[in-house]
Amino acid sequence: MAVRAQHPLRTHLTQRLEAPCRAGCAHMKIKSGNKIQFIRYCLEGSWHFFLAGAACTCLVSVFDLIQPKIIQYAVDEVIGGAAFSAGVLFRAASAVMAFALLGALARYGFTLFNTMGAETLTQTLRDRLYAHILRLPFSWQNTHHTGDIIQRCTSDVEEIKVFISEQLMALFRVVFLIVVSLVFMMSISPLLTLVEALFIPVTVASSFFFYTRIGGRFLRADEEEGRLSGIAQENLTGVRVVRAFGRERHERDRFEKQNAYYTDLWTRLMRVLAAFWVSGNIIANVRMLIIVLLSCVLCVHGTLTAGGFIAFLSYNTMMALPVRNLGRMLSEMSKADISGARLMEILEAPEEQDREGAGTPSLKGDIVFDHVSFQYDNGDTGVLHDVSFTVPAGKTVGILGATGSGKSTLMYLLDCMYDLGDGEGRILIGGHDIRDIQKHWLRSNIGMVLQEPYLFSGTLAENIKIAAPSADLCEIKKAARIAHLSSAVERFTSGYDTYVGERGVTLSGGQKQRTAIAQMLIRKPPIMVFDDSLSAVDAQTDAQIRESLRHSTGESTVILIAHRITTLMDADFILMMEDGRIVERGSHEELLAQGGRYRQIYEMQTQGRAL
């Protein structure tokens, strides 16, 4: 497939993603472990909604806290007064209703602004994560499991949303409520207020005790959820392979084993959380019991009025749940802490960067591999060893070699999927070191068709014009005709509007490869790479496609990688690779005349023997 193309169904999304990421990621560099800066990063674009929500929740607390004072006034005036006063009760009831109405309006405002902030935060964070991941190096993509990345971009983002929109906002409201409540309670009874205040640090201390035991358990559960998602994603994507080899029972057992382990982790985590919640209930009930007993004693001695008793118990009841939730919120923050760290790990990963002064030169010149050596970061002893060759502009070179000989690695290096380090040689195009060329420009001028093409969910026409969204139906048909796909399309009921399904599941292997060839041809790049992209077609179709390509590639430089010599024999020259080295080179006739490994492979294939 054309690896650097963009799906037309996603063009508008990618354009929208790049804008916020350039606006945010470009100027906002998150220092490792800086959680405050990470929160600021998340709040960009939504902080004003949360600020409005915070103001509304403060008003809710004020309106709620005023009502017990009104009730205290009414009770003391009626019970403690000389005579019953209907006017006092009417005024008190009217005030309570008025503040209740104001509180309802403030709650509506809080819900509205908080929800808008939460959804804006989620959209912005996911957009930035997605755009950032698209620009991460190919080596990073290879070392991170797809299921884990998906889990981070969904569940972990959701956890951050819950933390900021629910836990952080609730924490702000609880702290405000506690402070204002203590002020009101102090005006009723300093002694009872002191007792009430003494229980707050007890609750907080209990929460921190459990907090230290929840964080690590949640991290482990979160990681295992990513592994579970990875197993599900692999099996759903490769369901045809699983069914073809009768591996349903094995894969089901593997999934159930991981699911049971994940469930057991959450069960043990819930035991700790249950102990925390029960301890919170015990502390809250003991506090209520002591407050009620002391209030009764103060009322008997006449130092506390009946209205004051009712108001203080109201404040105590209003504080009971928030104080208990304060501990729970602190413990729940451990989940957000872990999720934030997992997201920061992605956001802190350095994006691909062009060299300073990298340009956009013409890429129609010779391709030169100059003493190229390379090894992957996994400790491999080396994939390529001092490889040097030149592909003249407009010529066709064939590369033959066994699996693992380094053929595909050459093309990944040419496309800057991996970067050459110091002392590992150079790759030049038209005399320009590819490290001095902007990567986007380089890849837009190199069309690459892989052995295992990836097709998106959509119609056949949409997949063919993936790299040229403005292409019309005539151009699509022309590319399909050159790739010898048109005859297959004519048999489809819906023609080019045929829905190919996820990863092209409705097409055969050969049809997918020919679709990928059409994808690249419609771009007309100056450099074309076919990485064993004809392996799934029969020999006759292979010959027909090669004949069409010879007349359609024009002045493009063509690199053919294959295991079949018949695919390469018409190339201007051929490279024979073994163990990361070029062991033979020359035209088809010259290599046959040398009588080396190339000739052996040719005789095996032409005589029908297995290689």
Mean pLDDT computed over 259-284: 83
**Does 480 lie in the same domain as 440?**
no
Domain stops at, among 347, 377, 405: 347
Q: Which two tokens stand for residue 273?
A: 């959380």
Please return the burial class of 550, using the count of CB atoms within 10 Å of its CB with bins 0-12, 13-18 and 19+: exposed
**Is the pTM for the entire model greater than 0.85?**
no
Whether the predicted pLDDT of 320 surpasses 80: no
Long-range residue pairs from 410-413, CB within 8 A, at least 24 positions apart, any chain: 410/369, 410/372, 410/384, 411/448, 411/529, 411/531, 411/559, 411/561, 412/138, 413/372, 413/374, 413/384
Mean pLDDT computed over 157-184: 87
Mean pLDDT computed over 255-263: 89
pLDDT in tens, 46-103: 999 999 999 999 999 888 888 888 888 777 776 655 555 677 778 878 888 898 899 8
**Does 508 lie in the same domain as 561?**
no
Q: Which of 47-61, 202-216, 287-301, 497-511 has the highest mean pLDDT?
A: 47-61
**What pLDDT score does 49 carry?**
94
- Alpha carbon distance 600, 507 (integer Å): 35
Whether the predicted pLDDT of 381 surpasses 70: no
Whether the predicted pLDDT of 218 surpasses 90: no
Whether the predicted pLDDT of 26 surpasses 60: no
Mean pLDDT computed over 210-222: 73
Q: How confident is the model at residue 3 (pLDDT cuts 50, 70, 90)?
A: very low
Long-range residue pairs from 235-238, CB within 8 A, at least 24 positions apart, any chain: 237/502, 237/503
**Does 373 lie in the same domain as 246?**
no
- Higher pLDDT, residue 45 or 322: 45
CA-derived radius of gyration, the chain? 35
Q: Considering the domain boundaries, does residue 101 fall inside one?
A: yes
**Does 439 lie in the same domain as 573?**
yes
Question: Helix 539-552 crosses helix 509-521 at what angle (to 10 degrees)?
Answer: 0
Domain stops at, among 477, 499, 524: 524
Lowest average pLDDT, out of 105-109, 325-329, 347-351, 559-563, goes to 325-329
Range of the domain at 140: 32-347
Q: Considering the domain boundaries, does residue 292 fall inside one?
A: yes
- Alpha carbon distance 183, 170 (integer Å): 20
Phi and psi torsions of 558, nearest 5°: -120, 130
Whether the predicted pLDDT of 117 surpasses 90: yes
Whether the predicted pLDDT of 33 surpasses 70: no
Q: Considering the domain boundaries, does residue 106 fall inside one?
A: yes
**Does 539 lie in the same domain as 512?**
no
Q: Considering the domain boundaries, does residue 279 fall inside one?
A: yes
**What pLDDT score does 18 carry?**
40
Whether the predicted pLDDT of 538 surpasses 90: no
pLDDT in tens, 456-515: 888 888 888 887 888 888 988 888 888 888 888 888 888 888 888 766 667 877 788 888
**What pLDDT score does 332 carry?**
67
Q: Considering the domain boundaries, does residue 81 fall inside one?
A: yes
Q: How far apart are the first and last CA of the chain?
A: 27
**What pLDDT score does 314 carry?**
84
**What pLDDT score does 20 carry?**
39
**What pLDDT score does 380 carry?**
59
Domain stops at, among 290, 313, 347: 347
Q: Considering the domain boundaries, does residue 21 fall inside one?
A: no
Greatest Cα pair distance, the chain, in angstroms, is: 125
Could you tell me what percent of the chain has a pLDDT over 90?
15
**Does 298 lie in the same domain as 218?**
yes
Lowest average pLDDT, out of 368-372, 384-388, 419-423, goes to 419-423
- Higher pLDDT, residue 177 or 112: 112
Mean pLDDT computed over 92-120: 91
8-state DSSP, 584: E
Mean pLDDT computed over 569-578: 90
Lowest average pLDDT, out of 150-154, 415-419, 470-474, 535-539, goes to 535-539
**Does 384 lie in the same domain as 278?**
no
Residues 6+ away with beta carbon under 8 Å from 81: 88
DSSP 271-331: HHHHHHHHHHHHHHHHHHHHHHHHHHHHHHTTSS-HHHHHHHHHHHHHHHHHHHHHHHHHH
How many structural domains comprise the chain? 3
**Does 538 lie in the same domain as 556?**
yes
- Higher pLDDT, residue 611 or 139: 139
- Tell me the average pLDDT of the chain: 81
8-state DSSP, 167: I
**Does 510 lie in the same domain as 471?**
yes
Q: Considering the domain boundaries, does residue 61 fall inside one?
A: yes
Phi and psi torsions of 349, nearest 5°: -65, 125
- Nearest 5°: CA angle at 467, between 462 and 473? 45
- Nearest 5°: CA angle at 28, between 24 and 33? 125
Which CATH number do you get for residue 107?
A: 1.20.1560.10
> Of 258, 301, 306, 48, which is closest to residue 266 (Cα–Cα)?
258
Residues 6+ away with beta carbon under 8 Å from 384: 372, 373, 374, 375, 406, 409, 410, 413, 580, 581
Q: How confident is the model at residue 6 (pLDDT cuts 50, 70, 90)?
A: very low
Q: How confident is the model at residue 232 (pLDDT cuts 50, 70, 90)?
A: confident
Cα–Cα distance list, 465 to 13, 45, 462, 499 (Å): 17, 35, 5, 14
Whether the predicted pLDDT of 528 surpasses 60: yes
In terms of DSSP bridges, do strands 573-578 and 396-401 run parallel, antiparallel, or are they unpaired? parallel
Q: How confident is the model at residue 331 (pLDDT cuts 50, 70, 90)?
A: low
Mean pLDDT computed over 173-197: 86
In terms of DSSP bridges, do strands 367-374 and 384-391 run parallel, antiparallel, or are they unpaired? antiparallel
- Alpha carbon distance 562, 48 (integer Å): 58
**Does 144 lie in the same domain as 234?**
yes
**Does 417 lie in the same domain as 297?**
no
Residues 6+ away with beta carbon under 8 Å from 257: none
Q: Element (H or E) spanning 389, and its range?
A: strand 384-391
Mean pLDDT computed over 343-370: 88
**What pLDDT score does 7 carry?**
38
**What pLDDT score does 21 carry?**
41
Which CATH number do you get for residue 580?
A: 3.40.50.300
Q: Considering the domain boundaries, does residue 361 fall inside one?
A: no
**Does 120 lie in the same domain as 188?**
yes
Q: How confident is the model at residue 31 (pLDDT cuts 50, 70, 90)?
A: low
